[in-house]
């Protein structure tokens, strides 16, 4: 079975489907069914991470499809990420091998460094029980990432939660440049400068929390974070009005807004109806007037949810990425 999903092309010719299934906070009990629903709906891109602790359940679901012949490995695009506790050259191979074993795959399509900040501690411990590794060295770490491509364990490699200065330094030193940057990006935090910067370097961009991560917001109360960041794009009156005019849902409008900027989006859902809804975004377009209204909702980094106050302990790390404007 082959479904044509629009894609973004990397510098190395590999293609990343522009909508993927996010799986952050999707537990092992429910994520397999979510992957099934997503593949049924036409998704071919699945985003996970070592720290989500759901790679084994995702692997089981994927392998059911692969073993039955319903799907070929080359039709899938699987992304996983090196945890902060693995942010040193000698740890990369071991962590990627553990992820591949859990996923029951011989390679991932994209392996990302999850965080610019290195950690010391048990990788399954809560962040409060891990300490900062003040010696994080991005260049030696990147060389170990390149070795994973050489070894055939990753088709492409990239970064997540890095700033422009850090990306540039890696690109300058790289033999295999990063193919993708995964960052928080939604209508309230549009990351205009960072996206332009990456595009100029031929680094594609993937938006995490493209719907404003309402599940995460529920867990981390407004008390912990800026009130402004806690507003939900899904209920924003401008978004709701644009959706009404198109006969679409707010989520579909938010995803279209990301896609029309040439950015990939990985909305998370474990609800079959919402999984389908988030993929039905290829048969309508926002016009210039809609885009202008949505562009005007940008609040810049004030609307950042991930990595601001929540990770304030990380701010003393020499590679903490969010002191820079972008």
Ligand X SMILES: NC(=O)c1ccc[n+]([C@@H]2O[C@H](COP(=O)([O-])OP(=O)(O)OC[C@H]3O[C@@H](n4cnc5c(N)ncnc54)[C@H](OP(=O)(O)O)[C@@H]3O)[C@@H](O)[C@H]2O)c1
**Residues found near ligand X in the complex (CB under 6 A):** 22-24, 47, 114, 160-161, 182, 208-216, 234, 249, 251, 266-271, 274, 277-278, 306
Q: What is the nearest approach in angstroms of ligand X to the Cβ of residue 69?
A: 27
Q: Which residues pair with 120 in a beta bridge?
A: 131
Task: Look at residues 63, 16, 10, 7 and name the one whose alpha carbon lies nearest to residue 39.
Answer: 63
Instruction: Give whichever of 42 and 215 is closer to ligand X, judged by the CB atom.
Output: 215
Cα dihedral 104/107/108/113 (nearest 10): 110
Q: What is the nearest approach in angstroms of ligand X to the Cβ of residue 274?
A: 4
Q: What is the nearest approach in angstroms of ligand X to the Cβ of residue 217?
A: 8
Integer CA distances (angstroms), 116 to 120, 134, 296, in order: 14, 11, 30
Q: What is the nearest approach in angstroms of ligand X to the Cβ of residue 115?
A: 7
Q: CB atoms < 10 A from the CB of 172, how many?
A: 10
Active site residues: 52
Instruction: Give whichever of 68 and 128 is closer to ligand X, judged by the CB atom.
Output: 128
Q: What is the nearest approach in angstroms of ligand X to the Cβ of residue 134?
A: 21
Task: Round to whole Å and give the CA distance between 60 and 139.
Answer: 34
Residue nearest to ligand X (CB): 22
Instruction: Give whichever of 272 and 300 is closer to ligand X, judged by the CB atom.
Output: 272
| Bridge pairing between strands 118-120 and 131-133 | antiparallel
Distance of CA 187 to the CA centre of its chain: 16
Instruction: Give whichever of 69 and 273 is closer to ligand X, judged by the CB atom.
Output: 273
Instruction: Give whichever of 163 and 270 is closer to ligand X, judged by the CB atom.
Output: 270
Whether the Cβ atoms of residue 283 and residue 256 lie closer than 8 Å to each other: no
Query: Which two tokens mark 99?
Result: 């992820």
Query: Which two tokens mark 315?
Result: 């701010």
Tokens 């008390």 -> residue: 223
């Amino acid at each position: 079975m082959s479904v044509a999903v629009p894609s973004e092309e990397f510098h190395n010719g590999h293609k990343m489907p522009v909508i993927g299934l996010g799986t952050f906070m999707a537990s092992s009990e429910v994520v397999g069914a979510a992957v099934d629903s997503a593949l049924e709906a036409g998704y071919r891109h699945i985003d996970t991470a070592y720290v989500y602790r759901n790679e084994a359940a995702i692997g089981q679901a994927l392998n059911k499809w692969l073993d039955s012949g319903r799907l070929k490995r080359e039709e899938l695009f699987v992304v996983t990420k090196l945890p902060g506790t693995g942010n040193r050259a000698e740890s990369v191979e071991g962590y990627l091998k553990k992820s591949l074993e859990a996923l029951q795959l011989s390679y991932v399509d994209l392996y990302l460094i999850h965080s610019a900040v290195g950690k010391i501690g048990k990788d399954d411990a809560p962040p409060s029980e891990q300490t900062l590794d003040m010696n994080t060295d991005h260049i030696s770490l990147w060389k170990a990432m390149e070795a994973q491509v050489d070894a055939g364990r990753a088709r492409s490699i990239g970064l997540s939660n890095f700033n422009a200065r850090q990306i540039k330094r890696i690109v300058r030193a790289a033999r295999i440049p990063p193919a993708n940057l995964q960052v928080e990006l939604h209508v309230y935090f549009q990351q205009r400068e960072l996206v332009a910067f990456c595009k100029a370097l031929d680094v594609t961009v993937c938006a995490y929390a493209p719907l404003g991560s309402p599940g995460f917001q529920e867990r981390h109360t407004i008390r912990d974070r800026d009130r402004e960041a806690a507003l939900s794009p899904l209920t924003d009156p401008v978004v709701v009005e644009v959706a009404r005019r198109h006969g679409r849902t707010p989520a579909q409008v938010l995803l279209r807004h990301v896609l029309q900027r040439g950015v990939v989006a990985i909305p998370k859902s474990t609800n079959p109806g919402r999984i389908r809804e988030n993929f039905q975004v290829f048969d309508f377009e926002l016009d210039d007037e809609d885009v202008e209204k949505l562009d005007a909702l940008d609040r810049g980094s004030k609307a950042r949810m991930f990595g601001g106050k929540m990770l304030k302990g990380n701010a003393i790390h020499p590679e903490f990425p969010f002191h820079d404007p972008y």
